[in-house]
Amino acid sequence: MRAAIYARVSTEDQAKEGYSLEAQLEMLRAYCEYEGMTVSKEYVDEGFSGRDTKRPAYRQMMLDLDNWDKLVVIKMDRIHRNSLNFMSMMEFLTKNGKEFVSSTESLDTSNALGRFVVDMIQRIAQLESEQIGERTYMGMKEKAEALKEKADSSSTMGFTAPFGYDVYEGQLVMSGEEFRVVERMFRMYIDDCTMDEICYRFNHDGISTRKGNVWNKHNLRNILHNPVYAGYMRWDGILIPHNAERAVSPKDFNVVQQKMLMRVRDPAKRKMSGVPDGMIASV
């Protein structure tokens, strides 16, 4: 069995825990000899944090994957201090038929106990990830609710600017030629052109999407449904006013929504998605 042994210290770690690089290497060499493993190569990162993967020796070790069978460290925190990074590494090692050993913690993925501990770590990492997601969602929702009350705001909350707009210094601004295409699109639909007719006209005239694709019902429908063109950004059902130029009035936007709604064959899928214009509209 070929072993890659990995040692790491930062100045803070070395002072706090007393595991110098040489002490780690001596312990790892002795462990590998006792377990009957041949040390393929020693990888050492000095002065690097374990909270990210931007470490030269660590990266080289992963590139040398074909030269070893087991990755051996004295403690798990020597390889990673971030549980998500650790589990990402474990997934990568498992996929490539490699094993991981923490010599002082009885963590060896070649046995049942080691795999059980790794499974527990994975579950903790998943919990951590989900909690971060929940906190992020709540933070975004609070921001959206706050922006909802600021009628003079056009902050994008990090949104990617839709066709017809750009983002400048965090604010939504009209984008010339694209914006005129959107205006024409709404005008044609209000004038009873079908989606097929609009797509044909745009493609025939050489007008493409932002990515250079042809127009079809899907990308056309996305624009006609987007309240951003009527003065509102939508985030998780919350309408946030912006002060960028509108391509269509709220009243005409709602007319478009009604016309599209009437063309939905299944009544159960008919749901009005308009914007405030003095009319009753649900989101």
What single string gives the DSSP state of each residue in 212-275? SPPP-HHHHHHHHH-GGGGTEEEETTEEEE--SPPSS-HHHHHHHHHHHHHT-S-GGG------
* Residue 155 designated active-site: no
75 falls in which pLDDT band (50, 70, 90)? confident
Q: Where in the chain is the domain with CATH 3.40.50.1390?
A: 2-124
Question: 115 pLDDT exceeds 70?
Answer: yes
Choosing from 10, 83, 88, 249, which is the catalytic residue?
A: 10
Predicted local confidence at residue 251, as pLDDT = 93
**Ranges for all domains in the chain classified under CATH 3.90.1750.20:** 155-269
- The confidence band for 280, taking pLDDT boundaries of 50, 70 and 90, is very low
Task: Give the pLDDT of residue 201.
Answer: 95
Query: Model confidence over 236-279: pLDDT tens digits?
Result: 777 888 888 999 999 999 999 999 888 776 666 666 678 887 44
Fold of 155-269: Hect, E3 ligase catalytic domain fold (3.90.1750)
Answer whether CATH 3.40.50.1390 is correct for domain 2-124.
yes
Side chain identity at residue 125, one-letter code = A
pLDDT of residue 283 exceeding 50 = no
Model confidence at 154: pLDDT above 70: no
Range in 35-44, 121-130, 196-205 with the lowest mean pLDDT: 121-130
CB atoms within 10 A of CB 76: 19
* Structure-token pair, residue 193: 């052109």
- Across 48-56, average pLDDT: 86
pLDDT at 92 over 90: yes
**What's the mean pLDDT in 16-26?**
79
Question: Does residue 155 sit in helix, strand or coil?
Answer: strand
Q: Are 22 and 9 in contact (CB under 8 A)?
A: no
pLDDT digits 0-9 by tens, 192-210: 999 999 999 999 999 999 9
Q: Which of 31-45, 152-166, 225-239 has the highest mean pLDDT?
A: 31-45
pTM equals: 0.48
Which tops the pLDDT comparison, 165 or 83? 165
Cα–Cα dist 87/117, whole Å: 12
SS3 74: coil
Q: Give the pLDDT score at 243.
A: 83
* pLDDT at res. 137: 61
Q: Residue 68: CB partners within 8 Å, gap ≥ 6?
A: 2, 3, 4, 40, 41, 61, 98
Average pLDDT over residues 80-90: 82
